[in-house]
């Protein structure tokens, strides 16, 4: 966030884009929230994954919102606020970012990482279990995007320090620790649409579960299968997001479930190569093995409205006013250019 703060203190740049202005406004908003609440602690959750897998629904339930779920077009920001009990209790803020589409998303994936750093950052990756032939395509795109964002926006020292912290979360005495490629922040992989996945062929279930358990274990992530139709799974994923966003409950995973015939639940450090039934491996080999069993299709294209800015569900008063101002400036410039060309033609 320090980089953005330094940018916002500079003199206005006449060449800045609408995206630059929006980033400054978000930064200023977060600074104002911090000053008004007496210096609360902040954490950040980045929710990204397969199209239509239920990301917005998870966020709405986490933030106790009854909003009508709309397709997320690009990158959306919201936040939640909690106050701990006790006199003089500190207020806690959770920044929540949601990525709408994985198509050409690398630059958008960088925004939350660049804005907040890794110290209080976490990711929730939501995958569509009902589409096994797209699962690895989406997951690979996400992991590559996150790794690229880290390498471009975080120092090697910061990455190393956060990886050491994540090793403690997995368990310093874990038998597989030296074989893992742990990411420098907590990750929960959510297998969405589990109700539809229950009807999938048993052999495909085995491959999907082995793949997701393997990649979760390899990067030091937790894994939960989820459907809103199961109350206990809904509570567990909500508790898990509260754990990432506000630190409570301290242990959201009340049980471990590894049977592919039921919903998989694996807490941080709760699996091993021996339990999965594979030799130590890495993400590349996991993907190759899964794709050989279940051939993958490309990332699904997203249908974008002609002008999302006119959709009432995406209103942002300050940004809309700036957009209107820029549109007026552009129209005046075009008219001036047209008049000048007509005048020169007469001459």
pLDDT in tens, 232-251: 999 999 999 999 999 888 88
Whether 220 and 83 share a structural domain = yes
Angle at CA 274, nearest 5°, toward 268 and 275?
60
Do 85 and 229 reside in the same domain of the chain?
A: yes
Residue 336 and residue 202 in one domain: no
Flag whether pLDDT at 17 surpasses 80: no
Output the pLDDT for position 168.
94
| Closest residue by Cα to residue 126 from 59, 81, 63, 220 | 59
Residue 5 binned pLDDT confidence (cut-offs 50, 70, 90): very low
Q: Structurally, how many domains does the chain consist of?
A: 2
pLDDT of the residue at 29? 62
Considering the domain architecture, whether residues 256 and 327 belong to the same structural domain is answered as: no
Structure-token match 């096994």, residue found: 132
pLDDT for position 311: 59
Domain of residue 326: give its range.
308-340
331 and 227: one domain? no
The 3-state DSSP class for residue 289 equals helix
Residues 64 and 149 in one domain: yes
How far is residue 207's CA from residue 296's CA, in Å, rounded to a whole number?
A: 13
Residue 8 lies in a domain: no
Average the pLDDT over each of 74-78, 153-157, 258-262 and give the range with the smallest value: 74-78
345 within some domain:
no
Tokens coding 184:
């420098």
Residues 317 and 257 in one domain: no
Q: Are residues 252 and 155 in the same domain?
A: yes
Average pLDDT score over the chain: 84
Whether residue 191 has pLDDT greater than 90: yes
Q: Do 132 and 205 belong together in one domain?
A: yes
Q: Are 23 and 4 in contact (CB under 8 A)?
A: yes
Residue 326 lies in a domain: yes
Does a structural domain hold residue 18? no
pLDDT (tens digit per residue) in 109-137: 999 999 898 999 999 999 999 999 999 99
pLDDT at position 344 over 90: no
Q: How confident is the model at residue 32 (pLDDT cuts 50, 70, 90)?
A: low
CATH number of the domain encompassing residue 281? 3.40.50.300
The answer to whether residue 301 is domain-embedded is no
Residue 281 domain-assigned (yes or no): yes
Is residue 194 situated within a structural domain?
Answer: yes
Whole-number Å distance between alpha carbons of 28 and 8: 8
Tell whether 35 is covered by a domain. no
């Amino acid at each position: 966030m320090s980089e953005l703060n330094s940018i916002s203190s500079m003199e206005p740049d006449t060449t800045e884009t609408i995206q630059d202005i929006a980033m400054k406004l978000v930064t200023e908003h977060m600074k104002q929230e911090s000053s008004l609440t007496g210096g609360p602690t902040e954490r950040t959750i980045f929710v990204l994954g397969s199209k239509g897998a239920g990301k917005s629904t998870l966020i709405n339930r986490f933030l106790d919102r009854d909003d009508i779920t709309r397709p997320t077009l690009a990158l959306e920001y919201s936040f939640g606020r909690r106050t701990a009990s006790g006199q003089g209790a500190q207020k806690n803020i959770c920044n929540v970012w949601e990525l709408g589409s994985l198509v050409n998303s690398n630059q958008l994936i960088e925004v939350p990482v660049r804005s907040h750093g890794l110290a209080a950052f976490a990711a929730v990756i939501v995958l569509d279990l009902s589409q096994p032939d797209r699962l690895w395509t989406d997951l690979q795109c996400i992991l590559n995007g996150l790794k690229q964002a880290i390498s471009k926006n975080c120092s090697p020292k910061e990455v190393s320090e956060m990886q050491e912290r994540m090793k403690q979360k997995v368990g310093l005495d874990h038998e597989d620790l030296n074989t893992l490629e742990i990411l420098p922040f907590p990750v929960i992989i959510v297998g969405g649409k589990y109700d539809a996945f229950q009807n999938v062929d048993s052999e495909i279930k085995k491959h999907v579960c082995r793949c997701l358990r393997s990649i979760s274990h390899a990067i030091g992530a937790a894994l939960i299968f989820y459907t809103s139709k199961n109350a206990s799974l809904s509570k567990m994923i909500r508790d898990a997001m509260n754990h990432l966003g506000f630190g409570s409950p301290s242990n959201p995973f009340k049980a471990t479930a590894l049977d592919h015939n039921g919903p998989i639940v694996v807490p941080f450090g709760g699996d091993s190569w021996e339990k999965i039934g594979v030799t130590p491996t890495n993400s590349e080999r996991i993907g190759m093995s899964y794709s050989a069993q279940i051939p993958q299709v490309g990332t699904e294209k997203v249908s974008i409205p002609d002008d999302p800015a006119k959709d009432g569900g995406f209103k942002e008063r300050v940004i809309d006013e700036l957009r209107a101002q820029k549109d007026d400036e552009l129209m005046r410039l075009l008219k001036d250019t047209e008049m000048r060309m007509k005048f020169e033609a007469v001459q």
